[in-house]
Amino acid sequence: MRPRDGAKGFQGVSCPQFVQVAYARTPGGAIKIPAMRRAIRILGIDPGLRRTGWGVIEHDGNRLAYIACGTVETSDKAALGVRLVALHDGLFKVIEQFGPHEAAVEATFVNKDAAATLKLGQARGIAMLVPARAGLEVAEYAPNLVKKTIVGSGHGDKVQIRMMIGVLLPKADPQSEDAADALAIAVCHAHHRQSAVLRVATR
């Protein structure tokens, strides 16, 4: 992870500052992971072409705090390019307003509807591009891992996820399933981010 001190994001927006993370191998070949910085603000994104959910939390040691959540919506009557621009601009405004340090996006799953999978993939591309272009590290998590992290089972449903989000983030009041899922993705990253940093370090 490179330092972002004083860096500029796209369109002249200042990116959140990062501390430099250095990795050193011990004589035995193990990698030393430095202490993770505290009070990390995480943006979780649940991508979708019609509605992309987003949620921002703060992770400080064992503490999780709710910051904000919502959805970016597009019209199914608009051209594809216009809809993708709307998702881009909506997520850009979220990053500009809340200044997250890291982002997490749910991985795409392939279903029987090839057209729907393609549309989801296009929305997911925007969901990864916007935070990456702003200088954030972007982690990816499989839907089953998100569910297992939040409800203890990889087959938990959306009702269970929303209920557990209320337990983990008492001040959160997501107005849609997409926003609740985005908060779940952010919480998942808070639990697994040290492993994600290790994976980057060992590449």
Q: List, by residue number, the catalytic residues.
A: 46, 106, 178
How far is Cα 145 from Cα 180, in angstroms, rounded to an integer? 16
The two three-digit tokens of residue 54, written as one number: 């987003």
Contact in structure between 72 and 86 (CB atoms under 8 Å): yes
Is 7 exposed, middle or buried, given 0-12, 13-18 or 19+ CB atoms closer than 10 A?
middle
How far is Cα 173 from Cα 7, in angstroms, rounded to an integer? 33
How far is Cα 129 from Cα 106, in angstroms, rounded to an integer? 13
- 102-106 and 40-46 beta bridge pairing: parallel
Instruction: Tokens 């850009």: give the residue.
Output: 92
- 137-141 and 102-106 beta bridge pairing: parallel
DSSP state, 79? Answer: -
